[in-house]
A and B are shown apart, each in its own frame.
Chain A
């Protein structure tokens, strides 16, 4: 998993969306991201 430090807001948001929609390979992050919405 990449580190958060120094990453832009857009990057983090996009990454979480990709985890949530299973469009980014992950072990547990896709399961965590599904618990959250955009706000």
Chain B
């Protein structure tokens, strides 16, 4: 069998979406730079951890600092499985040790307070500051408390969003465990755009999986701000066959839109009246993480506009924004999107530091959703640049087929677990 030469390898990898910065891999230093270049990465999630690692893989001469307040990372993808009793929180928790030891990244566990694009410094919460040549910001999302009447940050202890962070997921888990058999769970997803569009419906499925085993007389009502949702036909068919009538969905104009919340009385108010829940999982509208908004990187939408070739902010030069916070054309906000955006951004940052033209690219996103432990479905698509805007490649992508044998759903569940194992290895391995 013929082995692939480097040139051919680059050629074929170019065909299937990887970037030309691969060429810099494994090549020794050919010239001495006047000074060591320093790239700071803010946020150690799917975007930031990947960006830090790939900067070092693509250019071992680069100094890379990762600023992340948490000592370990809990993956929001797959966290619905904790609610379904299929995974423990520990199984979804990762350490930054490999990034530090294996890849020589300077990991600082402190929050970033503000980025200054003019002085090229980032001020940290402990009063220190870092100087950078370029910075990649991947702060994920923050919840908005200005869209639903009477909904305040302190209410999330009683009506948890469980949309980021370990403690919010734990809170929802405890509530599900202490609710009575025959109780009502309200799941309230927001309008688009928000992190992980299919995730509220995966959550409803896996909560139903838990309830059907332990509290089978209970009901789940999804009160949705939207008129439709991703993989809707697949979810609806799956819910019917797996859980009978346990899950009911109400679209925005049929009483799904939440106007007001009352954490004290455990109710939400819609245009059709007041709904009471034993558990209320209110998932509010979101916007870019605090550091991005505090540094002037977001626009009136609350999200960050970027040049989608390099993910450099169109508002402030030298600052790149990736992942959930960024406006990335039609790409959904997902861990996989952030992971892929991190790689093209790492390559673009290295090119720009060397005074080279950044290369165009194509990238993909796949979102798996579990409806039960051995039952999963997917949505997938490929994206490329049209001008400086990410669009879907015509003919690519789609969702799982409807009306297939259960063995197909089972093999998707196996693929989904493999996806999780490889992406977490890619970030933290």
Contacts and interface: CB of A to CB of B under 8 A. Distances in A.
A and B found bound together = yes
The interface centre, meaning the residue of A1, A9, A10 with most chain B CB atoms within 10 A of its CB, is A9
B15 A32 contact: no
A27 B415 contact: yes
Contacts of A1: 415
Contacts of A36: 15-16, 362, 382, 393, 396
A39 B13 CA distance: 11
Taking residues whose C-beta sits less than 8 angstroms from the other chain, chain A's interface range is 10 to 19
A39 B15 contact: yes
Contact of B2 (A8, A31, A35, A39): A8
A6 B3 CA distance: 7
Contacts of B378: 27-28
Interface in B1-41: 1-4, 8-9, 12, 15-16
A27 B412 contact: yes
A34 interface: yes
B93 interface: no
Interface residues of B, number: 27
A9 B364 contact: no
Contacts, number: 57
B181 to A, nearest CB: 37
B12 A12 contact: yes
B294 to A, nearest CB: 38
A32 B398 CA distance: 9
Contact of B8 (A7, A9, A28, A31): A9
Interface in A1-37: 1, 6-13, 16, 27-28, 31-32, 34-36
B138 to A, nearest CB: 25
Contact of B396 (A8, A35, A38): A35
Given A8-B4, A9-B8, A16-B16, A35 B366 contact: no
B22 to A, nearest CB: 13
Interface of B: 1-4, 8-9, 12, 15-16, 362, 364, 366, 378, 380-382, 393-398, 400, 408, 411-412, 415
12 contacts: A7-B4, A9-B8, A12-B12, A13-B12, A32-B380, A32-B397, A34-B395, A34-B397, A35-B394, A36-B362, A36-B393, A36-B396
